Structure 1
Amino acid sequence: MGESGKSRAWEAYRYPILLLVAILIGGVIGWVAGPKADVLKPFGDIFINLMFTIVVPLVFVNISSAVASIANLKRLGKILGVMLAVFVATGIVSSVLMIVGVSLVPPADGVQIELKAPDELKPLQTGEQFVNAFTVPNFSDLLSRKNMLALIVFSILFGLAVSLTGEKGRRVADGLSLLSEVMIKLIKLLMYYAPIGLGAYFATLVGVFGPELLGSYARAMSVYYPIAILYFFLFFTLYAYMAAGRGGPGKFWRAAVSPAVTSLATSSSVATIPVNLEATARLGVPKDIREIVIPLGATAHMDGSCLSAILKISFLFGLFQMPFHGFETYVTAIVIAVLSGVVMSGVPGGGFIGEMLIVTMYGFPPEALPIVAMIGTLVDPPATMVNATGDTAASMLVSRILEGKGWMNKA
Structure 2
Amino acid sequence: MARNKKLGLTARIVIGMVAGIAVGFIFKFILAGQEERILHLLGFDIALKALFVDGFFHIGGEIFISSLKMLVVPLVFVSLVCGTCSLSDTSALGRLGGKTIGLYLVTTAIAISLAIFAALLVSPGEGVQMQSDATFDISEAPALSQVFINIFPSNPIESMAKGNMLQVIVFAVLFGLAMAISGKSGERLATIFTDLSEVIMKLVTLLMNLAPYGVFFLMAKLFTTLGFETIASLAKYFAVVLAALLIHGFVVYAVILKLLSGLNPFIFFRKMRDTALFGFSTSSSNATMPITMETVTKKLGVKNSVASFTVPLGATINMDGTAIMQGVATVFIAQVFAVDLTMSDYLMVILTATLASIGTAGVPGVGLIMLAMVLQQVGLPVEGIALIIGVDRLLDMTRTAVNITGDAMVSCIVGKSEGAFDQAIFDDINAGTKEENVDFHHLR
Q: TM range, normalised to the smaller chain?
A: 0.7 to 0.9
In the other structure, the counterpart of 2:218 is 201
In the other structure, the counterpart of 2:125 is 108
Distance 1:266 1:88, change over 3 A: same
Local SS of the residue matching 2:72: helix
CA contact (8 A) 2:142 2:360 kept: no
- Percent identical: 29
In the other structure, the counterpart of 2:337 is 320
In the other structure, the counterpart of 1:189 is 206
Local SS of the residue matching 1:144: helix
> Considering only aligned residues, what root-mean-square deviation do their CA atoms show, in Å?
2.8
2:262 is the counterpart of 1:268: no
Single out whichever of 31-40 and 76-85 deviates more from structure 2. Answer: 31-40
In the other structure, the counterpart of 2:99 is 82
In the other structure, the counterpart of 1:408 is 423
Local SS of the residue matching 1:285: coil
Normalised to the residue count of structure 1, the TM-score between the two structures is 0.88
Aligned length: 399
CA contact (8 A) 2:303 2:415 kept: yes
Q: For the residues of structure 2 that align with 1:175 and 1:352, how far apart are their CA atoms? A: 41
Letter in 2 for 1:222: A
CA contact (8 A) 2:13 2:277 kept: yes
- How far off its partner does 1:22 sit? 1.6
Distance 1:342 1:123, change over 3 A: closer
CA contact (8 A) 1:201 1:265 kept: yes
CA contact (8 A) 1:118 1:369 kept: no
Local SS of the residue matching 2:272: helix
Runs (5+) with no aligned partner, structure 1: 1-6
Single out whichever of 263-272 and 123-132 deviates more from structure 2. Answer: 123-132
- How far off its partner does 1:380 sit? 1.4
- How far off its partner does 1:133 sit? 4.4
Q: For the residues of structure 2 that align with 1:76 and 1:14, how far apart are their CA atoms? A: 37
Distance 1:93 1:40, change over 3 A: same
Q: For the residues of structure 2 that align with 1:22 and 1:122, how far apart are their CA atoms? A: 36
Give the counterpart of 2:377 among 358, 361, 364.
Answer: 361
Give the counterpart of 1:14 among 8, 15, 23.
Answer: 8
Q: For the residues of structure 2 that align with 1:389 and 1:78, how far apart are their CA atoms? A: 22
CA contact (8 A) 2:349 2:378 kept: no
- How far off its partner does 1:161 sit? 1.7
Match runs of 1:201-240 below 5 Å: 201-211=218-228, 214-240=231-257
- How far off its partner does 1:109 sit? 1.5
In the other structure, the counterpart of 2:410 is 394
In the other structure, the counterpart of 2:395 is 379
- How far off its partner does 1:371 sit? 4.2
- How far off its partner does 1:67 sit? 0.9
Distance 1:122 1:27, change over 3 A: closer
In the other structure, the counterpart of 1:331 is 347
Give the counterpart of 2:258 among 241, 247, 251.
Answer: 241
Q: For the residues of structure 2 that align with 1:325 and 1:30, how far apart are their CA atoms? A: 44
Please tell me whether Structure 1 or Structure 2 has the larger radius of gyration of its CA atoms. Answer: 2
Local SS of the residue matching 1:363: coil
- How far off its partner does 1:212 sit? 5.6
- How far off its partner does 1:101 sit? 0.6
| CA displacement 1:227-266 (0-9 Å, x = unmatched) | 21222222233234335536x2232122211111111111
Distance 1:63 1:119, change over 3 A: closer
Letter in 1 for 2:183: G
Distance 1:132 1:196, change over 3 A: farther
- How far off its partner does 1:188 sit? 0.4
| CA displacement 1:156-195 (0-9 Å, x = unmatched) | 1211221232333111122111111111111001111111
Runs (5+) with no aligned partner, structure 2: 32-48, 427-444
In the other structure, the counterpart of 2:46 is none
Single out whichever of 71-80 and 232-241 deviates more from structure 2. Answer: 232-241
CA contact (8 A) 1:66 1:288 kept: yes
Distance 1:370 1:303, change over 3 A: same
- How far off its partner does 1:285 sit? 0.8
Distance 1:212 1:55, change over 3 A: farther
